[in-house]
Amino acid sequence: MIVTVTPNPSLDVTMPLERLTRGGVNRAGLCLREPSGKGVNVSLALHAAGAATVAVLPLGGPAGAELGVLLEATGVACRVTPIAGRVRSNLTLIEADGTTTKINEPGPRLDAAEVAGLLETAAALCAGHDWLALCGSLPDGLTTAALAGAVARARGAGLQVAVDTSDAPLLALVAGEGLDLPTVVKPNTHELATATGRSIDTLGEAAEAAAVLQRRGIGTVLVSMGGDGALLVDRRGALHGRAPVPRVVNTVGAGDAFLAGFLYAQDRHPGAREDALATALRWGAIAVQHPRTVFPGPGPASARPAVQLRSDFDVHQPLTEPAR
């Protein structure tokens, strides 16, 4: 089973528009309200594929109450830590040409007892299971030291630990040693550049930067690169993959579906890196073709996107979105 922890969940509100007019009145033809936050999205994707998962998260305030009701309706198993603060609402505006504008509220502040309750719940659930995924930003009150402690505790209990975060928490985790290091990290290109202090303009530079983290002791570095596909770097080297789609509708949540696909495949066939990257790419490709943040499920095999995998990729290929 895969346990996810979302320290800073959100109620996601998605509105499609013909075109966003700054300074004017914009009318949306539809409004989608969904439970969200990176770990929540990972659990939702796993649940849609029939995998066993439990989502651990704090909830409080009106948005938190609505998020809880929506999440319960999905059937995903949850363990909630009640908090005095208010869970955030995030707004996504999607224009007809695919341009996405995201407006994220700040999260609540968790006190020491709430942080302890959240992490203790996760630790108790992890006993006897296989994977812990710590995903998303950290709310005020949850320190990078506490996050590193949760990683070390899970690793010490024999779990595989995946982390998808950014900024100071990512920098702190990749600088750790031994059991403080997660098994898997999933940065995008910009997060990878920040974590390694490198400019990344080509596929080869992305692979080299990921290898820096892998040599520090992180088992697998998954790099999501949008239209440039993704890289998997582990002790066996670098593997590049792409899953082209005819039209991108909504990119929000695609990285979470990507990580969920990787965990789904690894949980069933540990060490099968090609299958894991291919599944991750397929799930990410499916996600970007749908207007909702919530992953719709992998669908029938005959309808899944084709995946291209190569270990002998062109290291000089420039990225469409370089990172500096």
Write down the pLDDT at residue 98. 83
Torsion angles phi and psi, residue 116, rounded to 5: -60, -40
111 catalytic per annotation: no
Write down the pLDDT at residue 178. 78
Burial class (CB in 10 A: 0-12, 13-18, 19+), 99: exposed
Per run of 10 residues, the mean pLDDT along the chain (length 324 residues) is 96 92 89 94 97 97 96 96 97 89 93 97 84 96 94 92 94 86 96 96 98 96 96 97 92 94 95 96 94 86 88 97 90
Write down the pLDDT at residue 4. 97
Please give the domain boundaries of the chain with CATH numbers for all domains: 2-19+29-323 (3.40.1190.20)
Residues contacting residue 314 through CB under 8 Å, at least 6 positions apart: 203, 204
Q: What is the DSSP string of 231-291?
A: EEEETTEEEEEE---S-----TTHHHHHHHHHHHHHHHSTT-HHHHHHHHHHHHHHHHTSS
End-to-end Cα separation, the chain, in angstroms: 37
d(CA 232, CA 144): 25
d(CA 132, CA 154): 7
From the CB of residue 29, how many other CB atoms can be counted at a distance below 10 Å? 8
Whether the CB-CB separation of 285 and 257 falls below 8 Å is answered with: no
Residues contacting residue 128 through CB under 8 Å, at least 6 positions apart: none
For β-strands 88-95 and 160-164, DSSP reports them as unpaired
Single out the catalytic residue among 12, 164, 234, 256.
Answer: 256
3-state DSSP assignment of residue 28: coil
